[in-house]
Chains A and B, each alone.
Chain A
């Protein structure tokens, strides 16, 4: 067996550890359904639902008691024959849209969804207006810088004189 130099072996083991890491879920082994297909659906639903205690985690990620009870409720409803949408609709009917980690697309949230596009279009509009309005070299169409006026010629001559003097 070839022996790796120490730096290489450290880097290699770091790489191995990185690939072994998986997201830490709060789902308790006791909660997991026996049927892997149903459990996968429960995970799908759980990822969508906000833990209402910690608020920036999904119920799958949260250790809060209420999140645990919601996970169990999701599983019970799925086993009872509810579709994913039915389960989510039930939870929304109790807690409102806030419980969804992805905001729904509806009249109240149009600003949220269209806002960024509107800002980009507005930004492009402002840029276009700005460049179209600034007098560019050759604004007279000749392609050359505009000729100096008499006053400008005099001023230039004076400055050059001063420089030499």
Chain B
């Protein structure tokens, strides 16, 4: 009993210390994906100028496995990711839809895509974050993997790289393509 008095505080200290140590290694910007396994949020965005699509809404997500990529011309990491998306488009692996988030004006998005290329199948213009908030986006780029029923299956935070694509996204997409429906 007398020993317990000395051992218990030490044990409590070690336990708390371990949790705090783990906490140090966590990134507070990596929030849980609240929508995983749930149908994508309802949204309906107008298209970008200079593209002939009518815009982008949640009903466009039903029917095939797709990626929804949140980007913006102001976003440096999106510029880093961009060549990889262009490369993906060439392989026809999966349709990539874009949510053009918080452009300063209607021209910024189209100009950026003209300069760097346009990897997107459909694009919606989201100047006041309505769709971005509905998806729980905190920063760009973020990419959602959506299955044939329009259910969100995965969220990737940050640029898509070769490692992310071949290690995580491609296996998941191949698996989802094999699912019925």
CA distance A73 to B133 in the complex (A): 9
- Contacting residues, chain B, for A133 (C-beta < 8 A): 2
CA distance A55 to B9 in the complex (A): 33
Of B2, B5, B102, B133, which contacts A94 at CB under 8 A? B133
* Interface membership of chain A positions 117-129, coded 1 if the CB is closer than 8 angstroms to chain B and 0 otherwise: 0000010001001
CA distance A66 to B9 in the complex (A): 44
CA distance A120 to B9 in the complex (A): 12
**Given contact pairs A53-B138, A53-B139, A55-B28, A73 touches B130 in the complex (Cβ within 8 A):** yes
Is there contact, CB below 8 Å, between B31 and A96? yes
Nearest Cβ distance between residue B22 and chain A, in whole angstroms? Answer: 14
Consensus secondary structure, chain B interface: loop
**Given contact pairs A52-B31, A96-B32, A133-B2, A69 touches B134 in the complex (Cβ within 8 A):** no
Of B5, B34, B139, which contacts A96 at CB under 8 A? B34
Q: Kindly identify, within residues 35 to 87 of chain A, every residue whose CB is under 8 Å from any CB belonging to chain B.
A: 52-53, 55, 65-66, 69-70, 72-73
Which bracket fits the contact residues of A? 20 to 34
- Contacting residues, chain A, for B102 (C-beta < 8 A): 65, 69
Q: Kindly identify, within residues 128 to 165 of chain A, every residue whose CB is under 8 Å from any CB belonging to chain B.
A: 129-130, 133
Interface size on B, residues (CB 8 A): 23
- Contacting residues, chain B, for A122 (C-beta < 8 A): 8, 12
Across the interface, name the chain B residue whose C-beta is closest to A97: B32
Is there contact, CB below 8 Å, between A69 and B129? yes
Across the interface, name the chain B residue whose C-beta is closest to A111: B19
- Contacting residues, chain A, for B128 (C-beta < 8 A): 69, 72
Across the interface, name the chain B residue whose C-beta is closest to A92: B34
What 5 A-B pairs have minimum CB-CB distances, sorted nearest first?
A: A69-B129, A94-B136, A52-B138, A96-B32, A95-B136
| Given pairs A94-B136, A129-B5, 15 additional interface contacts (CB within 8 A) | A52-B138, A65-B102, A65-B129, A66-B138, A69-B130, A69-B133, A72-B128, A91-B133, A93-B34, A94-B41, A94-B135, A95-B34, A96-B32, A98-B28, A98-B32
